[in-house]
Structure 1
Amino acid sequence: MQSVYAEIKRVVNNSADGTLFFPDDFASIGSSDAVRAALVRLCRSGILLRVAQGIYFSPKVDTKWGSGTIPPSIEEIAEGIAKRDKVRIVPTGVYALNLLGLSTQIPGNVVFVTDGSGRKINIGPGKGILFKHTSEMRIFAYRSQVMSLIVMALREIGENNVTDQHLSIIKQHLSTISQEDFQKDIQLAPIWVRKMLLRL
């Protein structure tokens, strides 16, 4: 038990501040019970902080503004889970709108579509990450992450609810996409989205 704790502590201390950890990361070091006990001890000593059930991170301190520990972002947690589970994820819903500046609303439950299993991860009171399974594989085929976000955002808004202000913001984002990526990705978009973007 002591050697498992010491080895996990060594791995954590040698990792960058803000690194996410999952119990499975230490499966080669000891049994699941020994790993769990070591993670509890590391949390008690402040070497690790618990984000959610089975998700931990090494504290990253804000040295610039002195605001204390910087928790991992929703996207960092979601991407960490996706990497662990070897699945793909794409932000959707209100969260996609927020990322593009199309909405100031910050959802309590952030939604990602995934080609993995659907489930919810609670990360605090009234907050969570919702993974929704989709069989629509073209969602994961976009070369540009910005283009993927734009398409998901427009689908959330709806064809008949897109305003000139929306289009103005989207046009700015489109300017950051290479012409090569745009030409490839536009073919993946729904027909109404394709027509709308080609007019910009």
Structure 2
Amino acid sequence: MSVAESISNRIKHMPKGKPFAGAVFAKAGSRASVDKALSRMVHSGSLERVARGVYMRPKLSEYTGRKVRANPIAVMEAVARARGETIQVHGAEAVRRLGLSTQMQVLPTYYTSGSTREIKIGNAVVRLRHASRQRLQQAGTKVGMALIAMLYLGKEGLTEHAARKIACSLSFEELNKLMACKMPEWMRSALAGTAKEYACQSRTSNSPRLVNAKS
């Protein structure tokens, strides 16, 4: 089976409208042969190039009949996966999702283990900012979102009300994971009251104890 046939067979099973990096076919053949096969598929219309090195199967809108544009966030995630990067929601967005702010990001921004850069998809731009390992803990989970929200609020902004609201958005197990993360002492202290409440509940319900790991 040729490189082109191998790639074509795999692409047929990929969802339409979902971006993927061409790098996923690295093992199908040499880089030149893979690039050539993908270029031919773009030329034939069976693939759409949505950004440098990122493609997707064309998808038509059931309402307008026009091609659906690639979601910029999905493109960013495809690039990150191909590069083996860890991606975490930005603190400003985490705070908004947790109901502690109504302010929307003007430019979608995410933390990454990779380099600081911008990914452009047509007129849309997604910004990636290099972040420390501390900010990338539990990336992609509610625990990670809670952690990054607290770091974003800072020592002065993490009030008792904010700490309680963040903690209450998590399950007992998730709060346990949050307390096990590395964090500044002021963050751990802000969570102490809520942790005690959970501890009391666990004693009455015979639930596992809440950890209190030190950073």
Q: TM-score, normalised by structure 1?
A: 0.72
Q: Partner of 1:149 in structure 2?
A: 145
Q: C-alpha displacement at 1:14, in angstroms?
A: 1.9
The verdict on how the C-alpha distance between 1:97 and 1:176 changes in structure 2, with shifts beyond 3 A counting, is closer
Q: C-alpha displacement at 1:99, in angstroms?
A: 4.1
Q: Does 1:167 align with 2:166?
A: no
Structure 2 residue corresponding to 1:183, chosen from 176, 189, 195: 176
CA distance in 1 between counterparts of 2:24 and 2:139 reads 29
2:84 counterpart letter in structure 1? K
Structure 1 residue corresponding to 2:188, chosen from 162, 178, 194: 194
| 1:97-144 Cα distance to aligned partner (Å, 9 max, x none) | 344453341332512132x4444433343612314142xx34444388
CA distance in 2 between counterparts of 1:159 and 1:62 reads 47
1:149 counterpart letter in structure 2? M
- Number of positions where the alignment pairs a residue of Structure 1 with one of Structure 2: 190
More strand, by proportion:
1
Q: C-alpha displacement at 1:81, in angstroms?
A: 2.9
The share of aligned pairs that are identical, in percent, is 26
The verdict on how the C-alpha distance between 1:179 and 1:150 changes in structure 2, with shifts beyond 3 A counting, is same
Does structure 2 conserve the Cα–Cα contact (< 8 Å) formed by 1:94 and 1:103? no
Q: Partner of 2:7 in structure 1?
A: 8
1:121 counterpart letter in structure 2? I
State the secondary structure of the residue aligned to 2:27: coil
Can you give the 5+ residue segments of structure 2 that lack an aligned partner in the other structure?
A: 195-215
Q: TM-score, normalised by structure 2?
A: 0.68
CA distance in 1 between counterparts of 2:46 and 2:129 reads 29
State the secondary structure of the residue aligned to 2:148: helix
2:185 counterpart letter in structure 1? I
State the secondary structure of the residue aligned to 1:156: helix
Q: Partner of 1:88 in structure 2?
A: 86
The verdict on how the C-alpha distance between 1:32 and 1:187 changes in structure 2, with shifts beyond 3 A counting, is closer
CA distance in 1 between counterparts of 2:95 and 2:84 reads 26
Higher Cα Rg: structure 1 or 2? 2
Q: C-alpha displacement at 1:176, in angstroms?
A: 4.4
Can you give the 5+ residue segments of structure 1 that lack an aligned partner in the other structure?
A: none
State the secondary structure of the residue aligned to 2:55: strand
CA distance in 2 between counterparts of 1:67 and 1:93 reads 37
Does structure 2 conserve the Cα–Cα contact (< 8 Å) formed by 1:94 and 1:107? no
| 1:52-111 Cα distance to aligned partner (Å, 9 max, x none) | 211112234454x5585152351x334333332233221224333344453341332512
The verdict on how the C-alpha distance between 1:194 and 1:106 changes in structure 2, with shifts beyond 3 A counting, is same
What are the equivalent positions in structure 2 for 1:119-158 lying under 5 Å apart? Answer: 119-125=117-123, 127-134=125-132, 137-142=133-138, 145-158=141-154
